[in-house]
Amino acid sequence: MKGQITFSQWVPLMEEDCRKHSETSGIRLPENFSINKIFGEAISARKLNRPILQAALTLRKKGFKTCILTNNWLDDSPQRGILAQLMSELGPQFDFMIESCHVGMVKPEPKIYKLVLDTLQANPSEVVFLDDIGTNLKPARDMGMVTILVQDTNTALRELEKVTGVQLLNTATPLPTPCQLGDVSHGYVPIKPGVRLHFVELGTGPVVCLCHGFPESWFSWRYQIPALAQAGYRVLALDMKGYGESSSPPEIEEYSLEVLCQEMIVFLDKLGISQAVFIGHDWGGALVWNLALFYPERVRAVAGVNTPFMPMNTSVSLMEQVKANPRFDYQLYFQEPGVAEAELEKNLPRTFKCLFRRGDEDPVLWMRKATSDLFAGGFLVTFPEQPSLSTMLTEEDIQFYVQQFKKTGFRGPLNWYRNMDANWKWGCKGSGRKILIPALMVTAEKDRVLIPEMSKHMEDWIPHLKRGHIKDCGHWTQMDKPAELNQILIEWLDADVRDPPMTSKL
């Protein structure tokens, strides 16, 4: 059974070996001695060496082949979910993974190192082998591989830098790995006759629904989807109504927040999900705060990215509030059906290159003041005919959005802006309510529209609110500062959403 043994088979064999050794050595074992308990606690406390993992990712991006070689059993223990999560996180990050329990060999047997060479299709002199156990390095070294003992992480990384010639220490915050279009499963939920919602899905665990804003797509969460899934969550990133492969009915009233929230509840019902975490950006943020306000029993926790929660002012209509704030003049330009559609659909690549920019790249668009000829010449008139590509996007990214909006146009997305009176009347019904569920507000320093100051009174209405703030970040936070956003979201989810760990009773 060597190398292909289950945990439940291995434990009694190991305990028997310990008893025999105790008898022959004269060392007395404690009365409560338990291999199962010792290893259960060790497994629960096991953590990834993040700097080493990041070094492997950096080397892989530089063209190195990477492989994980593990000594592990077929885990049928009560803690087996921990190993499953670990392996599901590591697997996609490497070119190859060799697990002893599936190949019938273990380190330090020489034949498993030969398997590594065959898998990598490499000569020993081309391989750098790292391990935290010295005896596992000797066979690799004897074969001619370069070996590095990992006891102190920084020391090991300095050795790896010398061998590979690649800088691995003191590097800038790396860009997270985005999900590839083929990595995610696609789903479609019928909401009502003529309306369906499309989503992509990755991961297992507590459900997290990601709701994008204008004019975006599920693809705007491409850097968050793998990170949240690897952190132990079931991620559902939606094409919001009017976008992508979701339905895009032309009627304006189909896009009121009341209707959109009702349809999100149907979305949960059709998937058999009793509660979900909702994270929203821009218009998606407005949606998720209203879900928390009107359907708190279905919202496990809620987070707004850039979009603050602002209780409805029952004395002044929403339209009047917008007219009084020059920062939102563009929303007035969006009111007349057909006008903004014609401009934004005229040249889709230009539209997205104009809109998707970092906070310090082209702020002038958002800072125009109201005039009698509001947005004369168009919404994008201040931009050149051939705008440069923002540093936070690739041409391939732009083409994805172009293809999505070729399907739907801008009518549905713009209709989200055309329900101000309906949204005000519905919002007033929640006047005076507080949001008492776990909540997070993430502000972005250089968002020119949803400025951080707009969130300053949120604690009055959300007493348990937690906060994150991202410096040098504009409106498109998910792709402007993805690593920083991922860290904030995962730390909050792990603290406020994660199921309590299960304790084995064996």
Q: For residue 86, what are its two tokens?
A: 């670990």
Q: 29 φ, ψ to 5°?
A: -80, 150
Per-residue CA distances from 139 to 134, 146, 223 (Å): 10, 11, 39
Residues with catalytic roles = 282, 417, 475
Check the CA dihedral 324-330-334-339 and report its sign. Answer: positive
Q: For residue 58, what are its two tokens?
A: 């950096």
How many other C-beta atoms lie within 10 A of the C-beta of residue 296?
16
DSSP β-bridge partners for residue 303: 279, 440
Collapse the DSSP code of 49 into the 3-class scheme (helix H, G, I; strand E, B; otherwise coil) and give the result: coil
Q: E strand or H helix at 466, and its extent?
A: strand 465-470
| Concatenated DSSP letters of 172-237 | PPPPPPPPPGGGSEEEEEEEETTEEEEEEEE--SSEEEEE--TT--GGGGTTHHHHHHHTT-EEEE
Quick one: how many helices (H) and strands (E) in the chain?
20, 12
Q: For residue 334, what are its two tokens?
A: 């969006």
Long-range CB contacts (within 8 A, 24+) of 184-188: 184/225, 184/237, 186/245, 187/236, 187/271, 188/245
List Cβ neighbours of 53 (8 Å cut-off, separation of 6 or more): 90, 93
Could you give the count of Cα atoms lying within 13 Å of 143 in the half-sphere of its Cβ? 25
Q: 133 φ, ψ to 5°?
A: -120, 120
What is the signed CA dihedral for 257, 285, 178, 266, rounded to 10 degrees?
-40
| Among the listed residues 60, 64, 58, the one whose alpha carbon sits nearest the alpha carbon of residue 169 | 58
